[in-house]
Amino acid sequence: MERAAQEQELAGLKMEGAGFISHEGRAYSEEENAVWKLLCERRMAKLPETACEAWLEGVEKLKMPLDRVPLFDELNANLRPLTRWELRAVNGFIPAEMFFGSMAKRQFPSTLEIRPMDRLEYLQEPDIFHDVFGHVPMHTDPVFADFVQEYGQLVTELDDRDKFDAMARLWWYTVEFGLVEEAGQVKLYGSGLMSSFGEADNVFDGGPEIRPFDLDEVISTPFRIDIYQPIFWVAEGFDQLRDSVQELRRRWAEELTN
Ligand SMILES: [Fe+2]
């Protein structure tokens, strides 16, 4: 595994001064709003058929604007009463402890910045379209919301590199690139699929291998961030994800007592 790449995605580039910032006062230009609108139009041409119900319903429940960049206050006003999650603004990659500590508190860290018009499809680091359009609708689902909080809590308790790697893979293959079965069909829920174009299409083109979710396979399969994913795992439901965190917690607690 490209450990450096994995650390970059999950532990974050430890940018000088990176951390939480105020989301207030960030006004979006006409061009930035046009980027959001264009990205939404392109993805919404496909997602009603390919996204899972929880994500589609989440967009509705949040009343997420599709024609301009959403403001955190308006999304939080709709998100908090549903699952007690909220968005918090960050300026770039934040250290792992801050990232997972934030998840444990039901605070989803998101950048306020949006990709420029001339780089709609290629991005090296997440922007607000990935963070908010990709991730946040899933946080309106109570089971998924609990899963991510319990995930963050467990990561903050780890002091072992191998366990951290296992959790990084679990995040990657679920929150970022997860698939779920609904009424016999494979649907998207991973934020990396919601917010991308080619990779999401590729899932349904027969290219990648699609397997039933298996916790042990997932946590032992290294990933790369610079290629289309060759393997995806399909969950039976989001309770399977929450159960997997509880399973790892139990296993690792048992290890300590043996
Ligand atoms: Fe992400």
Q: The tokens 């934040």 sit on which residue?
A: 94
Q: How far, in Å, from the CA of 258 to the mean position of ligand 1?
A: 36
Q: What is the pLDDT of residue 185?
A: 97
Per residue in 77-110, pLDDT tens?
A: 999 999 999 999 998 788 888 999 999 999 999 9
Question: How far out from the chain centre does Cα 165 lie?
Answer: 17
Angle at alpha carbon of residue 113, lines to 153 and 56, rounded to 5°? 65
Distance 77 CA to ligand 1 centre (A): 22
125 CA distance to ligand 1 middle (Å):
9
Distance between CA atoms of 136 and 86, rounded to whole angstroms? 9
Question: Could you report the per-residue pLDDT of 3-27, keeping only the tens digit for each?
Answer: 344 444 454 444 556 788 888 778 9
Question: 132 alpha carbon to ligand 1 midpoint, in Å?
Answer: 9
Is 53 annotated among the ligand-binding residues? no
User: Hey, where are the domains in the chain?
Assistant: 2-257
pLDDT over 50 at 232, yes or no: yes
Q: Is 176 annotated as a binding residue?
A: yes
* Ligand 1 mean position, distance from CA 176 (Å): 5
Mean pLDDT of all residues in 54-76: 97
Q: What is the pTM assigned to this prediction? A: 0.92
In angstroms, the CA 28 to CA 46 distance is 26
pLDDT greater at residue 9 or residue 168: 168
pLDDT at 17: 67
Give the model's confidence band at 167: pLDDT under 50 very low, under 70 low, under 90 confident, else very high. very high
**Class of the CATH domain delimited by 2-257:** mainly alpha
Q: Which of 51-65, 89-103, 150-164 has the lowest mean pLDDT?
A: 89-103
What residues contact 3, with CB distance under 8 A and at least 6 apart? none
Asked whether the predicted pLDDT for residue 258 surpasses 80, the reply is no
pLDDT for res 10: 52
Q: 67 in helix, strand or coil?
A: coil
* pLDDT recorded at residue 234: 98
Mean pLDDT estimate for the chain: 91
* Whole-number pLDDT of residue 7: 45
In eight-state DSSP terms, residue 184 is T
Per-residue pLDDT tens over the stretch 106-156: 999 999 999 999 988 867 778 999 999 999 999 999 999 999 999 999 999
Distance from Cα 135 to the centre of ligand 1, integer Å: 7
The predicted pLDDT at position 22 comes to: 84
Ligand 1 centre distance from Cα of residue 128 (Å): 10
Q: How far is the CA of 9 from the centre of ligand 1 (A)?
A: 8
Q: In the predicted model, what is the mean pLDDT of residues 26-39?
A: 96
Which pLDDT value is given to residue 6? 41
Residue 153 CA to residue 55 CA, distance in Å, equals: 23
**At a CB cut-off of 8 Å and minimum separation 6, what does 70 contact?**
62, 64, 132
pLDDT at 67: 98
CA of 134 to the centre of ligand 1 (A): 7
pLDDT at 206 over 90: no
